C-alpha cells in the first residue's frame, strides 16, 4: 500500500510508505513507543512497540470508514491511545477546525461539548471548560505554556490558528503534570508534524467571510532533509465592523492581525531538539456601544472630555481602517523543545521565553496609550521517563516559571 503514514509521536518522527508498501525510520532510540499507522479509508493502527537495533515491523490494514483509535499526548506521561487514557480528553482535528467557521482558534473549538468561550467581540475569545476559565485553564502551544493576559476577558489567545494542526482538550484537573493553572483543564494547541525525510510540503489558504468582510491569507511551507526539519507560516487578516440584525454594522469591532512563525529541528538516535519562534501582532478596535438618542445611530468619541459625540458615517462603518480607539496586542515567543535518550530512560526538556505587550489607546485626540502592560515570562519543564517495565510507566519531573 503506497502513501500510508507511519508516525511515532513521542519522537516526532515518521515516514510514508513507497509504491511497494515499504517504509523506513532511522535513528530510533531504544525504548517502547506508540506507533500510529494511518491511511484514508482504512482503520488506524496503534501499537506499543519496543525498539532495538534493526527492528522490522509489518502491518496489515483493514478498510474502515470510521476512526476507532487516536493518539493523544496531553494529560499523561507519554503518547497513548485515547481509549486507554483514564483522563477525559477530546481530540479535535484539522478538518473540524477548517469546517467550523471562526475568526480565532478558541472560537473554532467552542462548539465541542463541555467547552465554551467568553468573547468580547471578533478575534477575542477565551476558553471555558465546564464553567471554569481564565487562570484555571492552561493553554499550551507545542507543549509550552502560553503566557499572555489569560486573567482578563478582553484578551484573546495569541496564537495563529493556521499553525495548529490538532487540538487536545483535557476536561478536568491536570495540575499534577502542568501546575496550578490547569485546575479546570488544559487546551493543547499542537502544530503539524514534520514531513517524512526528503519531503517538502506547503499550502496556501485564503478565506473570506461575508458578515464582517474578513479577508485572510496564509502560507505555510515545511521540509525534512536528512532528519533536519524546518518550516514557517505567515498569516495576515483584516476585518471591518460586524453586522447584527438589530443595529446593522456595530461600530469599532474591526481588527487587523499579522502572524509569523518559524521552526528548526534535528532528529537523531539520541532524540530530537526543536527550536520555535512566533510573532503575533493584533490591532483590535474597542467598541463602546453609544448611540444617538434621536436617530439611534452609533456615535463616536472625538474629544478626551467626551462632551460632544459625532454620528458615525456609513463610510466609517464599512471601512477597514483601524480607529483611534483600539488596543494593540503583541506576543513574541521563542522556545526549545527537546527529548534526549538518557540512561535506560528519556529526558524531555522544554524551555521558553515569552514577551507579551498590550497597549490600549483611549485618547481620540493623541496617539498615546492610556494602558501599557508588558509581561516577560521565562518557563521550564523537565520530565524523566523511566524505562517501561511490565506495562508500568513511571515519570518524574519539575516545572516552573
pLDDT at res. 52: 79
pLDDT at 82 over 80: no
Q: What is the mean pLDDT of residues 142-162?
A: 85
Confidence band of 65 (pLDDT split at 50, 70, 90): low
pLDDT at 117 over 80: yes
Q: What is the mean pLDDT of the chain?
A: 89
Q: What is the mean pLDDT of residues 312-336?
A: 95
pLDDT at 193 over 90: no
Q: What is the mean pLDDT of residues 284-311?
A: 90
Which of 54-58, 86-90, 133-137, 314-318 is the least confident region?
Answer: 86-90
pLDDT at res. 222: 96
pLDDT at res. 266: 93
Highest mean pLDDT among 30-34, 189-193, 232-236, 265-269: 232-236
pLDDT at res. 131: 86
pLDDT at 355 over 70: yes
1-68 has which fold?
Answer: Immunoglobulin-like (2.60.40)
Confidence band of 67 (pLDDT split at 50, 70, 90): low
Confidence band of 69 (pLDDT split at 50, 70, 90): low
pLDDT at res. 206: 95
pTM reported for the whole predicted model: 0.86
Q: Which numeric CATH code is attached to 70-400?
A: 2.170.130.10
Q: What is the mean pLDDT of residues 57-73?
A: 78
pLDDT at res. 235: 97
Which of 10-19, 73-82, 377-386 is the least confident region?
Answer: 73-82
Higher pLDDT, 66 or 379: 379
Q: What is the mean pLDDT of residues 101-107?
A: 85
Confidence band of 34 (pLDDT split at 50, 70, 90): confident
pLDDT at res. 392: 82
Contact 59, 37 (CB under 8 A): yes
pLDDT at res. 66: 64
Work out the angle at residue 328's Cα, subtended by the Cα atoms of residues 323 and 332, and round it to the nearest 5 degrees. Answer: 155
Same CATH topology for 1-68 and 70-400: the answer is: no
Residue ranges per structural domain of the chain: 1-68, 70-400
Confidence band of 87 (pLDDT split at 50, 70, 90): confident
pLDDT at 149 over 80: no
Amino acid at each position: 500500500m503506497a502513501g500510508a503514514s507511519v508516525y511515532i509521536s513521542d519522537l516526532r518522527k515518521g515516514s510514508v510508505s513507497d509504491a511497494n508498501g515499504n517504509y523506513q525510520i532511522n535513528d530510533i532510540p531504544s525504548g517502547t513507543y506508540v506507533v500510529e499507522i494511518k491511511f484514508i479509508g482504512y482503520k488506524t493502527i496503534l501499537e506499543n512497540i519496543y525498539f532495538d537495533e534493526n527492528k522490522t515491523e509489518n502491518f496489515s490494514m483493514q478498510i474502515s470508514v470510521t476512526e476507532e483509535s487516536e493518539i493523544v499526548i496531553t494529560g499523561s506521561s507519554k503518547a497513548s491511545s485515547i481509549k486507554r487514557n483514564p483522563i477525559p480528553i477530546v481530540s479535535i482535528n484539522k478538518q473540524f477546525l477548517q469546517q467550523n467557521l471562526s475568526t480565532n482558534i478558541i472560537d473554532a473549538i467552542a462548539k465541542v461539548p463541555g467547552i465554551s468561550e467568553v468573547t468580547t467581540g471578533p478575534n477575542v475569545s477565551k476558553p471555558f471548560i465546564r464553567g471554569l476559565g481564565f487562570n484555571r485553564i492552561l493553554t499550551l502551544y507545542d507543549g509550552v505554556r502560553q503566557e499572555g493576559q489569560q486573567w482578563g476577558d478582553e484578551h484573546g489567545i495569541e496564537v495563529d490558528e493556521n499553525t495548529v494542526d490538532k487540538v487536545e482538550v483535557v476536561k478536568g484537573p491536570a495540575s499534577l503534570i502542568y501546575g496550578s493553572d490547569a485546575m479546570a483543564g488544559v487546551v493543547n494547541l499542537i502544530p503539524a508534524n514534520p514531513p517524512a525525510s526528503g519531503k517538502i510540503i506547503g499550502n496556501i489558504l485564503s478565506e473570506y467571510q461575508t458578515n464582517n468582510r474578513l479577508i485572510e491569507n496564509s502560507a505555510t511551507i515545511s521540509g525534512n532533509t536528512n532528519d533536519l526539519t524546518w518550516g514557517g507560516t505567515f498569516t495576515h487578516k483584516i476585518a471591518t465592523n460586524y453586522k447584527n440584525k438589530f443595529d446593522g454594522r456595530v461600530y469599532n469591532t474591526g481588527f487587523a492581525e499579522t502572524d509569523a512563525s518559524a521552526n528548526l529541528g534535528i532528529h537523531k538516535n539520541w532524540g530530537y531538539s526543536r527550536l520555535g519562534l512566533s510573532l503575533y501582532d493584533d490591532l483590535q478596535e474597542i467598541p463602546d456601544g453609544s448611540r444617538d438618542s434621536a436617530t439611534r445611530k452609533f456615535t463616536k468619541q472625538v474629544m478626551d472630555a467626551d462632551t460632544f459625540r459625532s454620528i458615525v458615517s456609513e463610510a466609517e462603518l464599512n471601512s477597514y481602517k483601524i480607529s483611534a480607539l483600539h488596543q494593540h496586542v503583541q506576543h513574541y515567543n521563542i522556545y526549545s523543545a527537546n527529548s534526549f535518550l538518557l540512561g535506560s530512560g528519556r529526558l524531555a526538556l522544554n524551555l521558553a521565553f515569552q514577551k507579551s505587550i498590550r497597549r490600549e489607546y483611549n485618547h481620540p485626540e493623541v496617539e498615546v496609550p492610556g494602558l501599557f502592560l508588558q509581561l516577560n515570562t521565562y518557563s521550564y519543564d523537565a520530565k524523566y521517563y523511566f524505562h517501561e517495565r511490565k506495562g508500568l510507566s513511571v515519570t518524574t519531573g519539575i516545572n516552573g516559571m
